[in-house]
């Protein structure tokens, strides 16, 4: 029975090893797969930013247009490196981790098989102990029970050794694979960030070379050209009307109209004054005629 208790302790350790690997490697695989998918989505968003930068650049002056297109090209390179990063993560990290689902399934089957052999051993030992207590003088029965218990113990010991070798191989493979997976992940990230840092450093220097004053000069020159053309057209309209007719100065025309109105007003006042004098003369003559009569 002591050997059975010892094997119980062994099986608990081995079961714990397999169960922990099943749980945490599975969670790690799910998390890394999600990380890879989100990196791919980030790459797609980066492609959208590149397109918008190019569209915006096409509406600007040459100075800003050149800088925007250069930055868009640098950002496009980064998206290419990010695409390579996504593919490497998928093939070198996520996909190998997925294979551990089947590996762990086989190890659990081995443990289940060992438990079945161990339970049979325990039953045979219990039968032997009961037979000794119940029939202590039945040597034939006791010998048969001992033979069965011995056979079950041999099978259990053999299965235990096989299981130990299997779980040891599994643990060795697990350690080696985890070391490889993490090393691959770190290498992929280092290569990506090193390239990205190099590109962003160059892009920063190119962006710092953006000459704002030069761009403003081009913009202001375009505005001044438009204003000059508009002023020429306006000054031309002051002198010449439609179909080549000459237009007078609005101020001189207004003054001429005022002088004409004043002259007409004076003429009308004089005429009214003369009519008033005629009426007075007629009234005086009539009054004089009455006096004479």
pLDDT of residue 241: 45
At 293, is the pLDDT very low, low, confident or very high (cuts 50, 70, 90)? Answer: very low
In the block, residue with structure tokens 């403003």: 216
Same domain, 161 and 252: no
Q: Which tens digits make up the pLDDT trace of 105-127?
A: 999 888 888 877 777 777 777 77
CA–CA separation, 230 and 102 (whole Å): 80
Same domain, 125 and 268: no
Same domain, 198 and 66: yes
8 A C-beta contact, residue 203 and residue 71: yes
In the block, residue with structure tokens 């996520």: 94
Same domain, 167 and 267: no
pLDDT of residue 187: 97
CA–CA separation, 293 and 268 (whole Å): 38
Same domain, 128 and 207: yes
Same domain, 126 and 265: no
pLDDT above 80: residue 264: no
- Cα 234 to Cα 173, 213, 291: the distances in Å are 88, 31, 76
pLDDT above 70: residue 248: no
pLDDT above 60: residue 232: no
DSSP-H helix ranges across the chain:
2-57, 62-89, 95-98, 100-134, 139-208, 212-239, 250-292
pLDDT of residue 265: 60
Q: Which tens digits make up the pLDDT trace of 36-95?
A: 999 999 999 999 999 999 999 999 999 999 999 999 999 999 999 999 999 999 999 999
Is residue 231 domain-resident?
A: no
Q: Which tens digits make up the pLDDT trace of 210-229?
A: 889 988 988 888 887 544 55
Is residue 141 domain-resident?
A: yes
Q: Per the structure, how many domains does the chain have?
A: 2
Taking residues 12-19, report their average pLDDT: 90
Same domain, 210 and 251: no
pLDDT of residue 268: 56
CA–CA separation, 212 and 64 (whole Å): 8
Is residue 226 domain-resident?
A: no
pLDDT of residue 245: 40
Same domain, 202 and 282: no
At 253, is the pLDDT very low, low, confident or very high (cuts 50, 70, 90)? Answer: low
Residue 112: strand pairing partners: none
pLDDT above 80: residue 171: yes
pLDDT of residue 71: 95
Range ranked top by mean pLDDT from 194-203, 207-216, 274-283? 194-203
pLDDT of residue 222: 84
Is residue 143 domain-resident?
A: yes
Residue 246: strand pairing partners: 240
Same domain, 212 and 153: yes
Domain that holds residue 170: 2-216
Same domain, 17 and 140: yes
CATH number at residue 184: 1.20.1270.60
At 288, is the pLDDT very low, low, confident or very high (cuts 50, 70, 90)? Answer: very low
């Amino acid at each position: 029975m002591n050997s059975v208790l010892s094997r119980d302790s062994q099986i608990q350790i081995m079961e714990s090893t397999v169960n922990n690997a099943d749980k945490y490697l599975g969670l790690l695989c799910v998390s890394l797969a999600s990380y890879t998918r989100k990196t791919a989505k980030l790459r797609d968003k980066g492609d959208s930013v590149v397109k918008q930068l190019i569209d915006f650049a096409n509406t600007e002056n040459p100075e800003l247009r050149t800088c925007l297109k250069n930055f868009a090209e640098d950002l496009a390179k980064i998206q290419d490196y990010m695409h390579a990063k996504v593919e490497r993560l998928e093939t070198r990290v996520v996909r190998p981790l997925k294979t551990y689902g089947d590996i762990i399934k086989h190890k659990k089957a081995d443990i289940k098989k060992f438990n079945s052999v161990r339970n049979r051993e325990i039953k045979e030992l219990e039968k032997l102990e009961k037979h000794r207590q119940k029939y202590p003088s039945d040597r034939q029965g006791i010998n048969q029970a001992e033979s069965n218990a011995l056979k079950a113990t041999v099978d259990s010991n053999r299965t235990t050794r096989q299981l130990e070798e299997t779980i040891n191989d599994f643990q060795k493979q697990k350690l080696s694979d985890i070391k490889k997976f993490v090393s691959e992940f770190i290498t992929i990230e280092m290569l990506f960030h090193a390239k990205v840092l190099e590109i962003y450093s160059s892009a920063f220097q190119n962006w710092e070379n953006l000459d704002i004053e030069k761009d403003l000069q081009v913009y202001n020159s375009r505005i001044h050209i438009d204003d000059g053309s508009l002023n020429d057209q306006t000054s031309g309209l002051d002198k010449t009307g439609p179909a080549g007719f000459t237009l007078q100065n609005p101020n001189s025309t207004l003054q001429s109209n005022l002088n004409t109105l004043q002259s007409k007003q004076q003429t009308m006042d004089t005429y009214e004054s003369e009519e008033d004098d005629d009426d007075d003369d007629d009234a005086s003559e009539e009054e004089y005629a009455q006096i004479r009569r």
